[in-house]
Amino acid sequence: SQAWKLHKTVVMVGMMGAGKTAVGRALAARLGVPFLDSDAEIESAANMTIPEIFARDGEPFFRKKESQVIRRLLDEERGILSTGGGAFLSAENRRMISERGVAVWLRADLNVLWNRVRHKDTRPLLRTPDPHATLRALYEARVPVYAEADLTVDSDSETTIERMVDRVLAA
Ligand code: S3P
């Protein structure tokens, strides 16, 4: 397989459970380009998990780190960059991403997202008395912002990761 030379970093955006990390990693492997992951970078720099960072330092601190990491990753090399679900909500992040990248929204229905996140304990924003209602509120607030991405790729419960890679490449 041929290694691609990207002119821009392909930035995966969308809700928790959309498959940003899984699809981003598979896309990078398919293209033979670096895979970058802002959440993983934040965790390894802090030597803490995301829930630990939220609990100890709070969400505003996490968002500051997230912007710094996204800026650094966009500066350092081109590849496939998976971001956390909240990253694209920041106007500053959207501006950085549009300067150096192409934003791809992985769109999925709320029930698909819920089925993917409901049994996991890795999303501090869903540690509420009614996580389904919280996810729905985030979804409704965020969809109009994700819609500003350059490309939209749909995912449903039947779609495999490799099929999602095909769809991103087609888009
Ligand atoms: C967040 C999503 C998470 C992580 C953090 C906040 C969000 O990433 O960045 O928990 O605001 O939606 P994933 O989208 O990979 O779950």
pLDDT tens-digit series, residues 126-167: 999 999 999 999 999 999 999 999 999 999 888 899 999 999
DSSP per-residue string spanning 47-89: TS-HHHHHHHH-HHHHHHHHHHHHHHHHHH--SEEE--TTGGG
Does the Cβ of 50 fall within 6 Å of ligand 1? yes
Q: Is beta strand 9-13 parallel, antiparallel or unpaired with respect to 101-107?
A: parallel
In-domain check, residue 171: no
In-domain check, residue 116: yes
In-domain check, residue 87: yes
In-domain check, residue 98: yes
In-domain check, residue 136: yes
Binding residue positions: 17-22, 39, 63, 85, 123, 142
pLDDT at res. 157: 86
134 dihedral zone (left: phi>0; alpha: psi -120 to 50; beta): alpha
Query: Atom 11, ligand 1: which residue's CA is nearest?
Result: 86
In-domain check, residue 169: no
Would you place residue 39 in the very low, low, confident or very high pLDDT band (cuts 50, 70, 90)? Answer: very high
Tell me the one-letter amino acid at 86.
G
In-domain check, residue 70: yes
Number of domains in the chain: 1
Atom of ligand 1 nearest to the CA of 89: 11
d(C-alpha 104, C-alpha 125), whole Å: 23
Least confident of 1-10, 18-27, 129-138, 144-153: 1-10
Q: Indicate if the pLDDT at residue 20 is higher than 90.
A: yes
d(C-alpha 124, C-alpha 97), whole Å: 25
Mean pLDDT of 91-99: 98
pLDDT at res. 11: 98
Sheet holding 101-107, edge to edge: 35-37, 80-82, 9-13, 101-107, 151-154
**Residue range(s) defining the domain that contains residue 104:** 9-161
Atom of ligand 1 nearest to the CA of 16: 14
In-domain check, residue 29: yes
β-bridge mates for residue 12, sequence order? 82, 104
d(C-alpha 71, C-alpha 48), whole Å: 20
Neighbours of 113 (CB within 10 A): 23
From 77, 141, 73, 152, select the one nearest 108 (Cα to Cα): 152
Name the phi and psi angles at 103, rounded to 5.
-90, 130
Does the Cβ of 85 fall within 6 Å of ligand 1? yes
Q: Indicate if the pLDDT at residue 3 is higher than 80.
A: no
CATH number, domain with residue 42: 3.40.50.300
